[in-house]
Amino acid sequence: ALLAELAEAPVVRDAEALRVTITAGPTREALDPVRYLSNHSSGKMGYALAEAWARRGAQVRLISGPVTLAAPTNVERVDVTSASEMLSAAEQSAAESDIFIGCAAVADYRADTVAEHKLKKADASDTMTLTLVKNPDIVATIAARSPRPLVVGFAAETRDLERYARDKLTRKGMDMIVANDVSSAGLGFGADDNAALLLWHADDTIERQALPAQAKTDLADAIVDRVLSLYANRAATAHD
Amino acid sequence: ALLAELAEAPVVRDAEALRVTITAGPTREALDPVRYLSNHSSGKMGYALAEAWARRGAQVRLISGPVTLAAPTNVERVDVTSASEMLSAAEQSAAESDIFIGCAAVADYRADTVAEHKLKKADASDTMTLTLVKNPDIVATIAARSPRPLVVGFAAETRDLERYARDKLTRKGMDMIVANDVSSAGLGFGADDNAALLLWHADDTIERQALPAQAKTDLADAIVDRVLSLYANRAATAHD
């Protein structure tokens, strides 16, 4: 046991006293009692982040959509299903957090009306039209609060990664964005590995750091490093 | 070990030499590389049926949508995602089967066109219209084959259970239907227990048997009993 402990990298508890809220996984938007709209997010990246923050001493609340993962040690998990439920939980938690990380793949749209009973196939017609309405943007909502935590968002794209990510960073008022290309084989959704491009505001410019493909657990630590440095800068500026 | 063996109910291998195909779980219909339409089927009922048939000596092929269950012992599992993939696998397997059980919750509709890249939110508009087209009806397709296996379908309803089930039984040309009310708390989708109403054609009438709420594993054995008796009758009639 002693040897095993010595062999492990020493844990730096450099996030102690920080309260961190993380959203993870997909959301599911009901169409009727049995059908739903969702996406392929496995929750692995958000769970890896929750684990990394907790290991480094932070007080972590993980707001999780439906996934098959177990909550990491020392993490408070709040289970939600829809984007609306996730938004309520996120707003409540953000109010008492220093850092908010929106890692969930929130459904952009939900059904206009959720049918109370199972929709029946209309035999006369071979097509069906579904009217969807836009869901609230959780990260943008948190970023618009005042006062607000440091806000980190994610962008999962299949093309034009940096262009879309820069646009999102600015438009949604985030402090930092973690962008990844989900079209790469073996990376991103469902995979254990991921690469990422970090973009953040620094004075009047946007700075960038490319993190190569690696285990999501290692990537999580690299993201935590960058967020901690941004948080320290922001705290220093606020106290000037 | 001996005591444990003695305590177990003796296994009656009354389905030996029968080739059984079972579909199970939900299907997922892609909207784009990350989003999909699906339903809450856990696959538990279909997997319980596969296990019951295999335990009783049948040669079982389980065509499964995306679920988190492990394949039962002595069952050949074929993994599929969409309704179209499930249909191909089902047609191929039904051609060499004595009994076909459509237990999967096949999506009724799929996207008209699957976007190659992730769909972007249209900021100008707060709604989105999705055009869906009807998926092939797998059970009805198998029931329309000639020659064809004995065909058993499932109906999951939230109201008017028997009326919808009788209509499906006749309209889709099945030999038997297993109907269950998925609106009952603790039963049906995702649950370990289930109740069911069995309906089957007998001469010119429809006969019925109500199976009370019980573990899906027990319910599976009761369904196998009824299917075996129908199969024996059909074989006797065919040889008259």
Which tens digits make up the pLDDT trace of B134-167? Answer: 999 999 999 999 999 999 999 988 889 999 999 9
**ipTM tops the 0.90 cut:** no
Q: Which residue has the higher pLDDT, B17 or A225?
A: A225
- Decide if A182 and B109 are in contact by the 8 Å CB cutoff: no
Contact present, B177 and B165 (Cβ < 8 Å): yes
| A210-228 mean pLDDT | 94
Residue-wise pLDDT tens digits, A137-146: 999 999 999 9
pLDDT at B96 over 80: yes
Confidence of residue A209 (pLDDT cuts 50, 70, 90): very high
Q: Which pLDDT score, from 0 to 100, does residue A117 have?
A: 74
How far, rounded to the nearest angstrom, does the alpha carbon of residue A188 sit from its chain's CA centroid? 13
Nearest Cα to B154, choosing from B218, B219, B66?
A: B219
Answer whether residue B181 shows pLDDT above 90: no
Using CA coordinates, name the residue in chain A closest to B67. A68
**pLDDT band for position A32 (cuts 50, 70, 90):** confident
Residue A76 reports pLDDT greater than 70:
yes
Residue A206 half-sphere exposure toward CB, CA atoms < 13 A = 19
Asked if residues A196 and A219 have their Cβ atoms less than 8 Å apart, the reply is yes
d(CA A84, CA A29): 9
The DSSP 8-state label assigned to residue A224 in this structure reads H
Q: What is the pTM of this model?
A: 0.83
With CB atoms and an 8 Å threshold, state whether A131 touches B127.
yes
CA distance B237 to B107: 35
Output the CA–CA distances (angstroms, integers) from residue B73 to A209, B57, B102, B139, in the order listed: 49, 11, 20, 25
Q: Cα(B22)–Cα(A47) distance, rounded to whole angstroms?
A: 35
* A22/chain B closest Cα distance in angstroms: 21
Under a CB-based contact definition with an 8 Å cutoff, are residues A20 and A101 in contact? yes
DSSP states along chain B: -HHHHHHSPPP--TTTT-EEEEEESB--EESSSSEEEEE---SHHHHHHHHHHHHTT-EEEEEE-S-SPPPPTTEEEEE--SHHHHHHHHHHHHTT-SEEEE-SB--SEEESS--SSPPPP-TT-SEEEEEEEEPP-HHHHHHTSSS--EEEEEEEESS-HHHHHHHHHHHTT-SEEEEEETTSTTBSTT-SEEEEEEEEEETTEEEEEEEEEEEHHHHHHHHHHHHHHHHHHHHHHHT-
pLDDT beyond 80 at A89:
yes
Mutate to test the interface with B, among A117, A128, A183 (most CBs of B within 10 A): A128
Check if the beta carbon of residue A37 is closer than 8 Å to that of residue A108: no
Contact assessment for residue B54 and residue B46, using Cβ atoms and an 8 Å cutoff: no
Q: Is the pLDDT of residue A124 over 70?
A: no
Output b/e per residue, B96-121; b: 16+ Cβ within 10 A. Answer: ebbbbbbbbbbbbbbbeeeeeebeee
Give yes or no for A81 touching B (CB within 8 A).
Answer: no
State how beta strands A29-30 and A35-39 pair: antiparallel
The region of weakest confidence among A85-94, A230-239, B13-22 is A230-239
Please give the structure tokens belonging to residue A174: 């985030």
Q: Is A133 exposed, middle or buried (0-12, 13-18, 19+ CB in 10 A)?
A: middle
Please tell me the predicted confidence (pLDDT) of residue B182: 77
**Is the Cβ of B8 closer than 8 Å to some Cβ of chain A?**
no
Instruction: Please state, rounded to an integer, the average pLDDT across all residues of chain B.
Output: 89
Gap from B107 CA to chain A (nearest CA, Å): 8
Using 50, 70 and 90 to split pLDDT, how confident is the model at A194?
confident
- Is B194 known to be catalytic? no
Interface of B with A in 157-216 (CB under 8 A): 157-159, 164, 182-183, 189
From residue B151, alpha-carbon distances to A133, A153, B44, B174, B202 in Å are 40, 50, 20, 5, 14
pLDDT given for residue A8 in this prediction: 58
Task: Say whether B159 and A34 touch across the interface (CB within 8 A).
Answer: no
